[in-house]
Structure 1
Amino acid sequence: MHWMGALLAAVLVSACGGGGGSSGSDPKTPTVQTTAPATLSMPLGVVQSYSVFGGVAPYSVSSSDVRVLNASVSDQTLILNSVGQGNATVTIRDRNGGSVAVAITVGDPLTLSMSSVQTYVGDTVKVLISGGTPPYRVSALDIALKGTIVGNELTLKTLSVGGPFDVVVLDARGQQAKMTVTTLAGSPQFNLAPAAMTISETSTEPLSLLISGGTSSYTVRTSDLTLLQPSANTVTGNTVTLLTGTKGNRCVNADSPVTVEIRDANGAHATSAITITDNPSGCGNLKAVPASVTVTRGSDASVLIQGQAANGTIRLVSSRTDIATVSERLDANGIAAVHGVAVGTTDIIVTDSAQPGVSLTFTVTVVAP
Structure 2
Amino acid sequence: MRFLSYVFTLLLALALTACGGGGGSSGSNPNRPTIFTTAPSALSMPLGVVQQYSVRGGVAPYTVSSDNVRVANASLRGDALLINSVGQGGASITIRDNNGGATSVAITVGDPLKLSMENVKSYVGDKIKVLITGGTPPYRVSTLETGVTGVVNGNELLLTLNAVSKVDVVVLDALDQQAKMNVEVITGSPQFNLVPVAQTISENSTQSTVLTVIGGVGPFTVRSSDTTLLNAAVSGNSVTLTTGTNGRRCVSEDTIVTVTVVDSRGAFATSSILIADNPAGCGLRLSAKSVAVIEGDTVKLTLEGLSNTGIVTLQSADPKKATATYSGGVITVVGVQTTLVPEQPAVPANPNANPPVEAKPAVPAYDDPVTITVIDSGPPTGSDTFKVSVLKKTP
| TM-score, normalised with respect to structure 2 | 0.54
Corresponding residue for 1:126?
129
Corresponding residue for 2:38?
35
Shift of 1:48: 8.1
What residue identity is the alignment partner of 1:147?
A: G
Shift of 1:279: 2.2
Of 218, 227, 234, 2:220 maps to 218
For residues 35-75 of structure 1, what are the alpha-carbon distances to aligned partners after superposition, in whole Å with 9 as ceiling and x for unaligned?
A: 323x54324348686676999xxxxxx99999856999xxx
Of 152, 163, 166, 2:165 maps to 163
Shift of 1:362: 5.2
CA distance in 2, matches of 1:54, 1:165: 45
What residue identity is the alignment partner of 1:169?
A: V
Corresponding residue for 1:186?
188
Corresponding residue for 1:316?
none
Corresponding residue for 2:141?
137
Shift of 1:268: 2.2
CA distance in 2, matches of 1:202, 1:159: 31
Shift of 1:90: 11
Shift of 1:280: 2.7
For residues 297-344 of structure 1, what are the alpha-carbon distances to aligned partners after superposition, in whole Å with 9 as ceiling and x for unaligned?
A: xxxxxxxxxxxxxxxxxxxxxx95348xxxxxxxxxxxxxxxxx99xx
For residues 258-278 of structure 1, what are the alpha-carbon distances to aligned partners after superposition, in whole Å with 9 as ceiling and x for unaligned?
A: 000112233222110111112
The question of 1:253 aligning with 2:252 is answered yes
Deviates more, 1:170-179 or 1:102-111: 102-111
Give the 3 Å change call, closer, same or farther, for CA 159–249 of structure 1 in structure 2.
same
CA distance in 1, matches of 2:339, 2:36: 17
Corresponding residue for 1:153?
156
Give the 3 Å change call, closer, same or farther, for CA 247–70 of structure 1 in structure 2.
farther
What residue identity is the alignment partner of 1:151?
A: G
Of 110, 114, 118, 1:111 maps to 114
CA distance in 2, matches of 1:216, 1:137: 33
Give the 3 Å change call, closer, same or farther, for CA 67–184 of structure 1 in structure 2.
closer
Corresponding residue for 1:196?
198
Give the 3 Å change call, closer, same or farther, for CA 78–218 of structure 1 in structure 2.
farther
CA distance in 2, matches of 1:34, 1:348: 25
1:260 alignment partner, SS class: strand
CA distance in 2, matches of 1:322, 1:131: 38
Contact 2:117–2:199 (Cα < 8 Å) also in 1: yes
Deviates more, 1:254-263 or 1:186-195: 186-195
CA distance in 1, matches of 2:169, 2:119: 9
CA distance in 1, matches of 2:204, 2:92: 27
The question of 1:176 aligning with 2:178 is answered yes
Shift of 1:109: 2.9
Give the 3 Å change call, closer, same or farther, for CA 80–245 of structure 1 in structure 2.
farther
Shift of 1:220: 1.7
Shift of 1:239: 0.8
Corresponding residue for 1:44?
46
For residues 136-183 of structure 1, what are the alpha-carbon distances to aligned partners after superposition, in whole Å with 9 as ceiling and x for unaligned?
A: 2221411x12211112211111112x3323222233333333222222
Corresponding residue for 1:209?
211
RMSD: 4.8
Contact 2:141–2:150 (Cα < 8 Å) also in 1: no
1:172 alignment partner, SS class: coil
Count of matched residue pairs: 274
CA distance in 1, matches of 2:206, 2:236: 23
Shift of 1:244: 1.8
For residues 243-295 of structure 1, what are the alpha-carbon distances to aligned partners after superposition, in whole Å with 9 as ceiling and x for unaligned?
A: 1222222222211000001122332221101111122333363499xx85769
CA distance in 2, matches of 1:51, 1:211: 53
The question of 1:227 aligning with 2:229 is answered yes
What residue identity is the alignment partner of 2:145?
A: L
CA distance in 1, matches of 2:92, 2:373: 22
Deviates more, 1:116-125 or 1:45-54: 45-54
CA distance in 2, matches of 1:88, 1:182: 33
Gaps in structure 1 of 5+ consecutive residues: 1-21, 56-61, 92-99, 296-318, 324-340, 351-358, 365-369
CA distance in 1, matches of 2:84, 2:161: 44
CA distance in 1, matches of 2:50, 2:203: 24
1:199 alignment partner, SS class: strand
Give the 3 Å change call, closer, same or farther, for CA 182–321 of structure 1 in structure 2.
same
Q: For 1:289-308, what aligned pairs fall within 5 Å after superposition?
A: 292=315
Contact 1:210–1:239 (Cα < 8 Å) also in 2: yes
CA distance in 1, matches of 2:152, 2:51: 37
For residues 73-116 of structure 1, what are the alpha-carbon distances to aligned partners after superposition, in whole Å with 9 as ceiling and x for unaligned?
A: xxxx999774532658699xxxxxxxx99856343333322121
Corresponding residue for 1:321?
339
What residue identity is the alignment partner of 1:112?
A: L
| TM-score, normalised with respect to structure 1 | 0.57
CA distance in 1, matches of 2:276, 2:94: 36
Contact 2:230–2:249 (Cα < 8 Å) also in 1: yes
